[in-house]
Amino acid sequence: MPGSHNNPPTGGATKKWPTLASALCPYLVSLGLWAVFLLVANLIIGPALAPGPLSVLKTIARLALSGVLFADMAQTVFRALMGVLLANLVGGVLGLLAGRASWALKVTAPLVASLQACPPIVWVTIVMVWAGTGSMVPVATVFAATLPFVFSNAAQGVMGLEPRILAMGKLYGVPAARVWRLFILPGIAPFWLAGLSPVLATGWKAAAVAEFLGSHDGVGAKLYWSYQGLRMEELQAWTLALIILGLTLEGAVITPLRRKAAGLAARGAEAT
């Protein structure tokens, strides 16, 4: 194209900034609305029970500089991820097996539906009674709260596979390991990815609730201790930490996963 070698590229770095700004804009607006809410509450209720946004930000800075903020955030993230990982291992294997036998799915459907509807508080209570307080409570709660989602996504993924391709594999004597590696696992990947985003969101919330009620540390537990001591700056600071972590999870992990899953599903649909 004439002139294409002579003209310096104009897009590149300059184009990235508006993209980044437009991506950050909704988050900044949300934080701004939160600050307005704190300000209004501060004016109506008073600083003792509703600290202003500035004192909350100062508290966050103090917690961050002391290292407590990051240590507890890491603790909560680790527990949530452990629970999700275990749920994926157990629920994934069970779901894959159930997806191959429609009767198994039919038999377990009511149980899975009721487990999906079960609030995390049920699991928190049971685990606290059985195992006392500590890391076990959030990990087990996240595991129990996310297991049915993983199970039903894996089972639906297997059921969505073309059964005649499986039959073709049998006709040609394709080894089971090859069938799993090249057909079944890639075939259920879009379902698994699509299911992972609600699983992570549910796991994150369940971890915070479980820590609030049944743990000594982590962001949820810090919320509880702030509430117990009526340290309202800290309460708001930990709330903000939870919200920021949740938004980071949504923006950095869940949204890309959702896009990837939609892309994979579209590719599979248009291919045959």
Partner 1 sequence: MTAPEGQPVLLELSGVSKSFGDLPVIAEANLKARGGRVLCLLGPSGVGKTTLLEIMAGLLRPDSGQVTANAPPSMLFQDNLLIPWLNALSNVAYILPKSLTPDEAKNRALRWLGAFGLDPAKYPRALSGGMKRRLALARALAADRPVLILDEPFAFLDDRWHELIATLVAEQAQSGHAVVISGHFVPERLSALLPDRLDLIAVPSQPIGVSLP
> Which residues lie near partner 1 (CB under 8 A)?
162, 164-165, 167-169, 171-175, 178, 182-183, 186-187, 267-268, 270-272
Q: Least separation, in Å, of the C-beta of 161 and partner 1?
A: 10
In b/e form, how buried is each residue of 120-131, taking b as 16+ CB within 10 angstroms?
beebbeebbeee
User: For partner 1, which is the closer residue by CB, 188 or 242?
Assistant: 188
User: For partner 1, which is the closer residue by CB, 77 or 174?
Assistant: 174
Phi, psi torsion values for 95, nearest 5 degrees: -65, -40
Transcribe 180-244 into DSSP letters: IIIIIHHHHHHHHHHHHHHHHHHHHHHHHHHHHHH-SSSHHHHHHHHHHTT-HHHHHHHHHHHHH
Q: Least separation, in Å, of the C-beta of 178 and partner 1?
A: 7
User: For partner 1, which is the closer residue by CB, 103 or 172?
Assistant: 172
Tokens representing 7 are: 């003209």
User: For partner 1, which is the closer residue by CB, 15 or 181?
Assistant: 181
Which residue from 174, 167, 194 is spatially nearest to 268, judged by alpha carbons? 194
Distances from the Cα of 213 to the Cα of 129, 138, 224, 236, angstroms: 12, 9, 8, 18
Q: Do residues 250 and 196 touch, judged by C-beta distance below 8 A? A: no
Tokens representing 255 are: 């949204």
Q: Least separation, in Å, of the C-beta of 272 and partner 1?
A: 6
Q: Do residues 59 and 233 touch, judged by C-beta distance below 8 A? A: yes
User: For partner 1, which is the closer residue by CB, 169 or 251?
Assistant: 169
Q: Least separation, in Å, of the C-beta of 69 and partner 1?
A: 43
Q: Least separation, in Å, of the C-beta of 103 and partner 1?
A: 19
Give the CA-trace dihedral at 116, 221, 200, 178, to 10 degrees. -90
Q: Least separation, in Å, of the C-beta of 169 and partner 1?
A: 7
User: For partner 1, which is the closer residue by CB, 26 or 263?
Assistant: 263
Q: Least separation, in Å, of the C-beta of 187 and partner 1?
A: 7
Specify the DSSP element, H or E, that contains 87. Answer: helix 68-100
User: For partner 1, which is the closer residue by CB, 3 or 173?
Assistant: 173
